[in-house]
Amino acid sequence: MSRLLTTSNLSRRGLIAGGAATLGGLLVSGCNRLATAPTALKLLGSAEGLTMASQRFILSGQPLAREFSAKDISANFKVNGSSSADSDEYSALLASGFKDWKLTVSGLVQHPLAISLAQLKALPARSQITRHDCVEGWSAIAQWTGPQLGPILAKAGLQRGARYVVFHCADDLEPSLDGTGRYYESIDLFDAFHPQTILAHTMNGQPLSVGHGAPIRLRVERQLGYKQAKYVMGIELVDRLDKISGGKGGFWEDRGYEWYAGI
Amino acid sequence: MTDAALPEPMLAPAQADRGDHEVIYRHTRVVRITHWINVVCILLLLMSGLQIFNAHPRLYWGQKGDESDHAFLSMLAYPTGEDTFRGETRIGDLKFNTTGLLGATVHENRGLPWWATLPGERNLATGRRWHFFMAWIFAINGLVYLVSNAVNGHFKRDLALSRGEVAPRALWRDILDHIRLKHPTGEAAKRYNTLQKLAYLSIVFIILPLMVLTGLTMSPGFDAFAPWLLTLFGGRQSARSIHFICANLIVLFIIVHVVEVFIAGVFNEIGSMITGRYRVKLGDHG
């Protein structure tokens, strides 16, 4: 009797366990398909707007990102993303010490500019020791020096309708025939005119290395690492982002990451 | 709702008839609704959080931390062949071979295995979308729970500890009761016991708020608004580590919570969190 009970209990338990495992498997694979469905991603993406709106509200006084002291600087700041730009054009610029490099400021501006590296270095510079936060989770600290973006944009003069600042870069982070693998980024005017938003030509007191984006990289301190575009060649003022490359406002944004990277 | 709709206790002895039990209204509607929303939120937050952790399965203490800094915990993969890996988990100076579970799943270099992450495959962008979407729902739901229960007196009435309860002797007796899996009946079963209260209080007022605050500390935007959070937690990387440790404490809480639900009577317990009504066995030693 007790034996019979045990076996029947066991088989019933086995049946339940087996059923639960099958159901669990179905649920997991079903959930996973749902988890990556375009409609689901679109719905989930709605949180980005809420996050951005609330951060813009609390940051409306334009507070600065924390600045650290020299002793906090990372001994070995990791090179991430592209470690160089592979074009012949970039190689030639690098070989000549960026003598012939000119940063173009174009698009919805009143006076398009072409600024040489010497001119850029002659502009009043800001130095800041800040934390760089990669979307992957790591952080590194460095001192960045360069002119603020705001006065450069003011000098070019914004046309009515200019809403975004697009940074066109020299590096191809992904090989592509149509140019969609070329790195680019964009920020809006709120961040463009923030005092800590600079075009860094110097890192830890040394000219910016190739690995970190020579001759200049953007620093937009209240956002994640992928917004800090390296190898910046040109700045373009635009009214909308959907006509550029993948249309989402940046290399990583075109690959599913948030445009607003304050979180 | 009528008595007939009440769930039967799973292990009710045959002689137990309605006269042996009393039905009490245990959980208010707001507790029941916020509880189940929380179940969904926390499950999805945990799984999407592990997806995000997998992008850099190393933990540091301080303001900064990357491969060149000391990680006090890491789950890394070391190649052993063309496409095979050995997973190694390091805690301080201790090294554990965790191939198949942590660090590497034999053929893939990853911190946590596929079944623990959302989505299952490696996809940081989608993991982040899930995490921040659910974080908003979790925060709003938590706020509804906190405000309504502060106002309606639930915290003060049911969760606050009395001086007598935290006296060492009473506490010790409660611990022994738990070890012996002895559960109160009668009047005592209508209240939360001391360890139960301590578990709920620490999860509601310490662990979950810490989760929100350390999560916000990882946001470079929020840091500019509230730099004192960096001072409080000792840096963004410390906050990330505390976030991970608290996530583990939440898992621990859930395991104990679910085991206790099964011990105390799974249908009665889950039923009470759905209908609000809870059957208490009338006891002579209550």
SS (H, E, C) chain A: CHHHHHHHHHHHHHHHHHHHHHHHHHHHHHHHHHHCCHHHHHHHHHHHHHHHHHHHHHCCCCCCCCCCCHHHCCCCCCCCCCCCCCCHHHHHHHHCCCCCCEEEEEECECCCEEEEHHHHHHCCEEEEEEEEECCCCCEEEEEEEEEEHHHHHHHHCECCCCCEEEEEEEEECCCCCCCCCEEEEEEEHHHHCCCCCEEECEECCEECCCCCCCCCEEECCCCCHHHCCCCEEEEEEECCCCCCCCCCCCCCHHHCCCCCCCC
Amino acid at A203: M
Rounded to an integer, the average pLDDT of B227-252 is 98
* Closest Cα in chain A to B131: A44
Chain A CB contacts of B66 under 8 Å are: 74, 76, 78, 134, 138-140
Residue A258: name the closest of A186, A160, A176, A191 by CA: A186
Nearest chain B CA: its distance from A77 CA (Å)? 8
Q: If interface means Cβ-Cβ distance under 8 Å, which residues of chain B face chain A?
A: 52-53, 55-56, 58, 63-69, 115, 118-121, 123-126, 128-130, 132-133, 135-136, 218-225, 227, 230, 236-237, 240
Nearest chain A CA: its distance from B31 CA (Å)? 25
Residue A77 pLDDT exceeds 50: yes
Q: Is the CB of B221 less than 8 angstroms away from the CB of A78?
A: no
User: Which comes out higher in pLDDT, residue A84 or B106?
Assistant: A84
Q: Is the CB of B133 less than 8 angstroms away from the CB of A131?
A: no
Q: Which residues is A158 bridged to in the sheet?
A: A109
Q: Is the CB of B55 less than 8 angstroms away from the CB of A41?
A: no
Q: A198 Cβ partners below 8 Å, 6+ apart?
A: A125, A126, A128, A144, A145, A146, A147, A148, A149, A218, A219
Q: Is the CB of B236 less than 8 angstroms away from the CB of A133?
A: yes
Amino acid at A186: S
Q: Is the CB of B136 less than 8 angstroms away from the CB of A50?
A: yes
Q: Is the CB of A138 less than 8 angstroms away from the CB of B53?
A: no
Residue B45: name the closest of B234, B226, B270, B244 by CA: B244
- Residue A30: how many CB atoms within 10 A of its CB? 10
Q: Is the CB of A35 less than 8 angstroms away from the CB of B68?
A: no
Longest dimension (CA), chain A: 96
Q: Which residues is A165 bridged to in the sheet?
A: A187, A237
Q: Is the CB of B64 less than 8 angstroms away from the CB of A48?
A: no
Domain limits, chain A:
67-255
**Chains A, B: CB pairs < 8 Å:** 133
Sign of the four-CA dihedral B131, B246, A54, A159: negative
Interface test with A, best of B50, B58, B129 (most A CBs within 10 A): B129
**CA A60 to CA B19: how far, in whole Å?**
64
Cα distance between the two ends of chain B: 28
With tokens 């050995």, the residue in question is B86
Q: State the pLDDT confidence band at B5, using cuts at 50, 70 and 90.
A: very low
Q: Is the CB of B64 less than 8 angstroms away from the CB of A74?
A: yes
**CA B171 to CA B36: how far, in whole Å?**
30
pLDDT for B22-46, tens place per residue? 899 999 999 999 999 999 999 999 9
Q: A57 Cβ partners below 8 Å, 6+ apart?
A: none
**CA B246 to CA B175: how far, in whole Å?**
23
What integer pLDDT is reported at residue B94 of this predicted model?
93
Mean pLDDT, chain B, rounded, equals 89
What integer pLDDT is reported at residue A25 of this predicted model?
64
Between helices B29-54 and B236-275, what is the axis angle to 10°? 140
**CA B195 to CA B198: how far, in whole Å?**
5
Q: Is the CB of A263 less than 8 angstroms away from the CB of B224?
A: no
Nearest chain B CA: its distance from A41 CA (Å)? 7
Chain A CB contacts of B121 under 8 Å are: 32
User: Which comes out higher in pLDDT, residue B115 or A120?
Assistant: A120
- Residue A63: how many CB atoms within 10 A of its CB? 16
pLDDT for A153-212, tens place per residue? 999 999 999 999 999 999 999 988 888 899 999 999 999 999 999 999 999 999 999 999
Q: Is the CB of B220 less than 8 angstroms away from the CB of A141?
A: no
**A115 backbone φψ class: left, alpha, beta (φ>0; ψ -120 to 50):** beta
- Residue A139 is nearest to which of B115, B118, B236, comparing CB atoms? B236
Between helices B208-217 and B236-275, what is the axis angle to 10°? 140
The percentage of residues in chain B with a pLDDT greater than 70, rounded to a whole number, is 91
Q: Is the CB of B63 less than 8 angstroms away from the CB of A72?
A: yes
Chain A CB contacts of B111 under 8 Å are: none
Interface test with B, best of A139, A204, A253 (most B CBs within 10 A): A139
Q: Residue B275 in 3-state DSSP?
A: helix
* Closest Cα in chain B to A255: B125
Q: Which of A84-93, A159-168, B114-123 is predicted least confidently?
A: B114-123
Q: Is the CB of A139 less than 8 angstroms away from the CB of B56?
A: no
Chain A CB contacts of B219 under 8 Å are: 55, 262-263
Buried b (16+ CB within 10 A) or exposed e, B140-154: ebbeebbeebeeeeb
- Residue A194: how many CB atoms within 10 A of its CB? 22
Residue-range domains of chain B with CATH = 6-68+115-281 (1.20.950.20), 69-111 (no CATH)
**CA B223 to CA B237: how far, in whole Å?**
13
- Residue A59 is nearest to which of B132, B136, B224, comparing CB atoms? B224
What integer pLDDT is reported at residue A30 of this predicted model?
73
Rg, C-alpha atoms of chain B: 22
Q: Is the CB of A138 less than 8 angstroms away from the CB of B65?
A: yes
Rg, C-alpha atoms of chain A: 25
What integer pLDDT is reported at residue A11 of this predicted model?
54
Q: Is the CB of A137 less than 8 angstroms away from the CB of B55?
A: yes
pTM recorded for the entire structure:
0.89
What integer pLDDT is reported at residue A41 of this predicted model?
87
Q: Is the CB of A68 less than 8 angstroms away from the CB of B63?
A: yes
**CA B129 to CA A206: how far, in whole Å?**
38
**CA B188 to CA B191: how far, in whole Å?**
6
Per CATH, is A67-255 categorized as 3.90.420.10? yes
Residue A263: name the closest of B211, B124, B216 by CA: B216
- Residue B224: how many CB atoms within 10 A of its CB? 22
Could you tell me where the DSSP H helices lie in chain B?
Answer: 29-54, 124-151, 154, 168-179, 194-202, 208-217, 220-225, 228-233, 236-275
- Residue B224 is nearest to which of A63, A134, A256, comparing CB atoms? A63
Confirm if A222 and A133 have CB atoms less than 8 A apart: no
**CA A96 to CA B139: how far, in whole Å?**
54
Q: Which of A65-69, B103-107, B197-201 is predicted least confidently?
A: B103-107
User: Which comes out higher in pLDDT, residue A219 or A43?
Assistant: A219
Chain A CB contacts of B63 under 8 Å are: 68, 72, 131, 139, 141
Q: Kindly tell me the burial class for residue A122, based on how many C-beta atoms sit within 10 Å of its own C-beta (0-12, 13-18, 19 or more).
A: exposed
Nearest chain A CA: its distance from B99 CA (Å)? 22
Residue B167 pLDDT exceeds 70: yes
DSSP B219: -
Residue B123 pLDDT exceeds 60: yes
Residue B76: name the closest of B97, B92, B93, B60 by CA: B97
pLDDT for B51-91, tens place per residue? 999 999 999 999 999 998 999 999 988 888 888 888 999 99
